[in-house]
Structure 1
């Protein structure tokens, strides 16, 4: 069993901690990231526990309490190989400025495993951000005794993905969270010695083929229209002396099949229009057809 304990920094009711233009609040970024990372970690067979799963509409949770929750769960699971990972975004002053970059923290009491995890995550996340913005800054792995990582009993790190008080960094924090989570899990997999499996990009829906062009019927010089088997025989007799013709049943006849339209027998009363009608019924039509072809 590999255990990843995710600690989403802050809660909704914490004052401040938002971009100068109020377009992003840190707690929302941290919370969104913890679930993206959780989903990817579980796909790699890593067990995930959240210390702060529901930060919406809540006040800040004490930092010591976060560490105690993590320690208690780790002990409950018989202290398997684990990593405590606290998720944050950074800030400098209250207005947009030039301070930017990615940094990962370990405590002064950090184990070698903590140092390894921080190195792997820092390298992977920075590489990803650098691929988006060539001016991205690598602030490296730093040491600071933040309570959550200092008091965690298992290997622990705290990531500051980028500065939401920097316009370029803020854009990445808002628009590239899937890539940030993917880069994070790469580092975590390396730490646990697990083969990283890249997430396949979603395939777009195939384009909807437009309606095929309607095939236009050939225009014949003559078209003979009938209705029923007996009339079909008469229609065929009529066609003997015609050139460039087509003989069709009334049910499939379409306007525009011929320049001259001959309507035979029973079809005479059903197809109205300015046509070359032959007879009031099939017998009169037959007589007229025989005269027409001089038989």
Structure 2
């Protein structure tokens, strides 16, 4: 199991933190990027945990709490290889100005793995932005003891994709999120030493496997499948008590991802029996699995 913990900076009810022309708010950018990166990470076989999955209509979450959530979840999964990635966009003053660029932060107590991740991801994001705008600025890897990365017990970095107080950076933050997410996952794959597969790569469809993989071939002991945003929240809660577990959406689920398949909510109608536990709705599913966990 390889674990990516995503931390979407800020929440909707945080004042300020918006472009001078009010065309973008930071929390919205951070949240959108979080779910774009999550989808790409899961397609590359990474397990993903979100510290701040629902910032809509919420006030700010404490920085120490974010780190605590990350540390607790990592420990609950038996401390796998992991990366904590905090997502932000930058600002300088409250009017449009010339300050711009991409920068990645590590804390003063950063491990070499943190520094490696920062370099891989910084280089990948900057190179992508440079291909969009030749005048893009590389602000490099920097050191600052932001609470979320200083208190994280795993390799941790904080990303500032660009300045929403700069018109050129703001255009990229608003219009090129797909490219930014791809650049991010490319750097993340380099950190985890896994093959990066571009989303737009044209690959022939693999032949249908008429012989499902045996238990020995399963990638994870447990796999939780969901089909909606609401179901995903339940799936993440359930995963806290399951060892060696991956959480995936129905559209990317494949046979062989797990020995035990837990289906949340309406996804069970599509899988047609390819599961270990399910219920008529997400709450019944959750109740059934909790009873199963307590009995083992």
TM over 0.5: yes
Deviations 1:114-134 (A, max 9, x none): 000000000000000000000
Q: Which runs of 4+ in 1 moved over 4 A?
A: none
1-side partners of 2:94 and 2:166: how far apart? 10
Question: In 2 relative to 1, CA 102–76 (structure 1 residues): closer, same or farther, beyond 3 Å?
Answer: same
1-side partners of 2:31 and 2:159: how far apart? 13
Aligned to 1:140: 140
Q: How does 1:102-251 map to 2 (within 5 A)?
A: 102-200=102-200
Q: CA deviation at 1:138?
A: 0.1
2-side partners of 1:71 and 1:190: how far apart? 23
Deviations 1:135-192 (A, max 9, x none): 0000000000000000000000000000000000000000000000000000000000
Q: How does 1:52-63 map to 2 (within 5 A)?
A: 52-63=52-63
Q: Per the alignment, in what secondary structure is the counterpart of residue 60 of structure 1?
A: coil
Deviations 1:35-89 (A, max 9, x none): 0000000000000000000000000000000000000000000000000000000
Aligned to 1:50: 50
Aligned to 2:78: 78
2-side partners of 1:173 and 1:123: how far apart? 17
2-side partners of 1:150 and 1:78: how far apart? 21
Q: Which runs of 5+ in 2 are unaligned?
A: 203-296
Aligned to 2:291: none
Q: Aligned residues, how many?
A: 202
1-side partners of 2:68 and 2:113: how far apart? 20
Q: Which runs of 5+ in 1 are unaligned?
A: 203-295
1-side partners of 2:172 and 2:198: how far apart? 20
2-side partners of 1:177 and 1:196: how far apart? 18
Q: CA deviation at 1:110?
A: 0.1
Aligned to 1:36: 36
1-side partners of 2:198 and 2:61: how far apart? 34
Q: TM-score, normalised by structure 1?
A: 0.68
Aligned to 2:279: none
2-side partners of 1:57 and 1:200: how far apart? 34
Aligned to 2:225: none
Larger radius of gyration: 1
Over the aligned positions, Cα root-mean-square deviation in angstroms equals 0.8
Q: CA deviation at 1:200?
A: 1.5
Q: TM-score, normalised by structure 2?
A: 0.68
